[in-house]
Amino acid sequence: MKRLRYENGDLDAVDLKILRILVDDARASVAEIARAVGMSGPSISERIKRLQEGGTIEGYTIRINPAAFGLPLAAWLRIRPVPGQLATVTEILKDIPEIATCDRVTGEDCFIARVHVGSVTDLERVIDRIIPYAMTNTSIIQSSPVAERLPMPMEVR
């Protein structure tokens, strides 16, 4: 198997298995991981510490269903600031709490943002905050057939 590089060395098959376990359940205990990998708890602890210090593991989190907060509608917004308004649009996007994620991208649009709202009316309010400074194109998300997952190069799957 090809070894993957990270800041402080190579990732091996054990590291990848640890990462897959933690992606599936960030609350997995060191003992659970050790049993799944077939190593001692202290060895797993040391590997996790190395993965954290090396920047491979950036943090631990939970996934929450936005519908539980009354936000059942999700959409992708493609955003193209009008000339001279890039910095203004950046700040507006940072201040809109309904935006769950936003990336600056290449191509015709400058930003792609995922927004979670309670209704189409709420979506319209979000767009109305942006359109004085940018053109937008909206796509309502019907479903997500691929859930967020750990990206893996083809040669290590």
With a CB cutoff of 8 Å and minimum separation 6, the contacts of 123 are 73, 75, 115, 117, 138, 140
pLDDT in tens, 50-97: 999 999 999 998 888 999 999 999 999 999 999 999 999 999 999 999
**Residue owning tokens 């950036």:** 58
Least confident of 2-11, 42-51, 91-100: 2-11
Task: Give the CATH number for residue 130.
Answer: 3.30.70.920
Q: Is the residue at 151 inside a domain?
A: no
Query: What is the pLDDT at residue 153?
Result: 61
Given phi > 0 = left and psi -120 to 50 = alpha, else beta, which region is 49? alpha
Are residues 81 and 48 part of one domain? Answer: no
Distance CA(91)–CA(85), nearest Å, equals 10
Q: Determine the average pLDDT of the residues in 120-135.
A: 98
- Total count of domains within the chain: 2
Task: Give the CATH number for residue 12.
Answer: 1.10.10.10
Report the share of the chain in percent with pLDDT over 70: 90
Query: What is the pLDDT at residue 152?
Result: 66
Are residues 129 and 76 part of one domain? Answer: yes
Are residues 85 and 48 part of one domain? Answer: no
Are residues 126 and 95 part of one domain? Answer: yes
Q: Is the residue at 125 inside a domain?
A: yes
Q: Is the residue at 113 inside a domain?
A: yes
Q: Which domain holds residue 133?
A: 66-140
Are residues 75 and 13 part of one domain? Answer: no
Are residues 36 and 72 part of one domain? Answer: no
Q: Is the residue at 101 inside a domain?
A: yes
Are residues 75 and 123 part of one domain? Answer: yes
Distance CA(118)–CA(14), nearest Å, equals 42
pLDDT band at 5 (very low <50, low <70, confident <90, very high): very low
Q: Is the residue at 58 inside a domain?
A: no
Are residues 135 and 82 part of one domain? Answer: yes
Q: Is the residue at 128 inside a domain?
A: yes
Question: What is the pTM assigned to this prediction?
Answer: 0.77
